[in-house]
């Protein structure tokens, strides 16, 4: 897989500045983001020959089929191929991997990965309804139908993950709360972040319990949002208006590749480590080389488990590392520098915004919260078909090839 290292670059990135946009549709949010990313790259829509997206839509229950082809029609694109494979927040990492492979194979030259959703304005209930209700279909055809009828929800699953981490490694409520406090520290520096007011550990722990031991302020914000990135060949990348951000390595994994669903925490950490190890090996770096990390944080426990699964902290040590300021502004490992899903935005699938923020940091385009001269950025997305049926994607990006 070494031939894939540096075989494609991100040359355009755009994040829609609105977090609440009742006057816009998810399609318009996404279209404006694609146009913004193409302008950032200095390319035209006619240059696009691959298009990747998924969409969130309350009108269709939760998932809208044919999102990619519908967006191509909306934007008047005629790509050679499209993909809308959806594994939740990790989908955008998979899209990145496939775009890189297609570019390296010579099948395409320029790819766009985009997303748009008006989840907050359209009052989509994220994380607190069972899967059958969300998609508006009977539960029996699904592999997890033995669980779903009993009311297990995403937030209930997260509560069990945190309980297990507390039991097995001694994670404290204060350490988990410190993740949310740190996210607000970054968000306070980001003018586009949804929740910018600083908070304290005591405030987090005094907020309502949503699924014991998870408090409301340990859950992501629910916002509208849109974004897009553009990838292209090395030859084209070096001729455009901005310095390219190179994809040095990537990896992906699914839950059953780490041993089944008997232990959700083990599965979460296992697939994270599998995808990270593959990305590190392709990029030729170690976890200690990472300068800035964007870790999917729909909940504080996701950051804790992500840091450990990625090898950035030893098992059981992430809580103390965060509590000591390890991922905070000025700390040794800046994490979720825009405020993350906990504070900046989370329209339903946040994986694309992790890539956009990594590009900003590597380009030096994050005024007010810029990490000092980062060389390697790690992007980690996770997502689920349903609860423990997880998918993971890790990418290593750099400003140098």
How would DSSP label each residue in 230-282? Answer: EEE-HHHHTTSSS--EEEEEEEEEEGGGGT-SS-HHHHHHHHHHHHHHHHHHH
- SS3 assignment, position 59: helix
Q: Say if residues 324 and 361 touch (Cβ distance below 8 Å).
A: no
Query: Residue 142: pLDDT above 80?
Result: no
CATH of domain 2-125+220-398: 3.40.47.10
Give the mean pLDDT of 179-205.
Answer: 98
H-assigned helices in 111-172: 131-135, 154-169
- The pLDDT tens digits for 258-315 are 444 567 788 888 889 999 999 999 999 999 999 999 999 999 999 999 999 999 999 9
The contacts of residue 175 (CB under 8 Å, 6+ apart) are 304, 319, 320, 322, 323
Can you spell out the DSSP letters for 197-236? S---HHHHHHSPEEETTEEGGGB-----EEEEEEEE-HHH
- Parse the chain into domains and list their residue ranges: 2-125+220-398
Query: Residue 387: pLDDT above 60?
Result: no
208: which DSSP letter? P
Band of pLDDT at residue 375, cut at 50, 70 and 90: very high
Q: What is the average pLDDT value for the chain, to the nearest integer?
A: 89
Distance CA 24, CA 368 (A): 29
pLDDT cut 70: percent of the chain above it: 87
Q: Say if residues 77 and 37 touch (Cβ distance below 8 Å).
A: no
Query: Residue 348: pLDDT above 80?
Result: yes
Band of pLDDT at residue 156, cut at 50, 70 and 90: confident
Give the mean pLDDT of 89-105.
Answer: 95
Q: Strand pairing partners for 386? A: 389
Query: Residue 239: pLDDT above 60?
Result: yes
Query: Residue 191: pLDDT above 70?
Result: yes
């Amino acid at each position: 897989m070494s031939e894939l290292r540096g075989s494609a670059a991100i040359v355009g990135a755009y994040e829609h500045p609105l977090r609440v946009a009742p006057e816009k549709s998810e399609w318009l949010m996404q279209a404006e983001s694609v146009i913004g990313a193409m302008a950032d790259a200095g390319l035209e829509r006619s240059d696009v020959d691959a298009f990747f997206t998924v969409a969130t839509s309350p009108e269709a229950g939760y998932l809208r089929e044919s999102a990619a082809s519908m967006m191509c029609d909306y934007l008047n694109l005629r790509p050679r191929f499209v993909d809308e494979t959806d594994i939740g927040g990790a989908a955008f990492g998979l899209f990145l991997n496939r775009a890189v492979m297609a570019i390296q194979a010579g099948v395409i030259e320029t790819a766009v990965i985009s997303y748009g959703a008006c989840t907050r304005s359209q009052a989509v209930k994220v994380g607190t309804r069972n899967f059958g209700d969300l998609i508006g279909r009977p539960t029996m055809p699904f592999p997890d139908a033995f669980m779903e009828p009993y009311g297990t929800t995403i937030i209930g699953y997260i509560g069990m993950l945190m309980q297990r981490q507390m039991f097995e490694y001694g994670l404290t409520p204060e350490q988990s709360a410190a993740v949310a406090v740190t996210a607000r520290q970054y968000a306070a520096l980001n003018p586009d972040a949804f929740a910018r007011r600083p908070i304290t550990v005591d405030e987090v722990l005094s907020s309502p319990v949503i699924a014991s031991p998870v408090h409301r302020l340990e859950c992501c914000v629910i916002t509208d949002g849109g974004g897009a990135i553009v990838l292209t060949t090395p030859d084209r990348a070096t001729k455009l208006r901005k310095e390219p951000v190179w994809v040095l390595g990537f990896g992906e994994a699914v839950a059953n590749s780490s041993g089944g669903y008997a232990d959700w925490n083990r599965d979460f950490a296992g697939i994270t480590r599998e995808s990270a190890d593959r990305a590190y090996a392709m990029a030729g770096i170690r976890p200690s080389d990472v300068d800035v990390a964007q870790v999917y944080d729909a909940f504080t426990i996701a950051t804790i488990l992500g840091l450990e699964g990625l090898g950035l902290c030893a098992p059981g040590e992430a809580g103390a590392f965060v509590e000591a300021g390890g991922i905070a502004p000025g700390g040794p490992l800046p994490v979720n520098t825009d405020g993350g899903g906990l504070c900046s935005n989370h329209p339903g699938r946040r994986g694309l915004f992790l890539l956009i923020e990594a590009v900003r940091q590597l380009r030096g385009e994050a005024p007010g919260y810029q990490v000092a001269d980062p060389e390697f950025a790690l992007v980690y997305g996770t997502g689920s078909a349903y609860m423990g049926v997880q998918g993971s994607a890790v990418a290593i990006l750099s400003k140098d090839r």
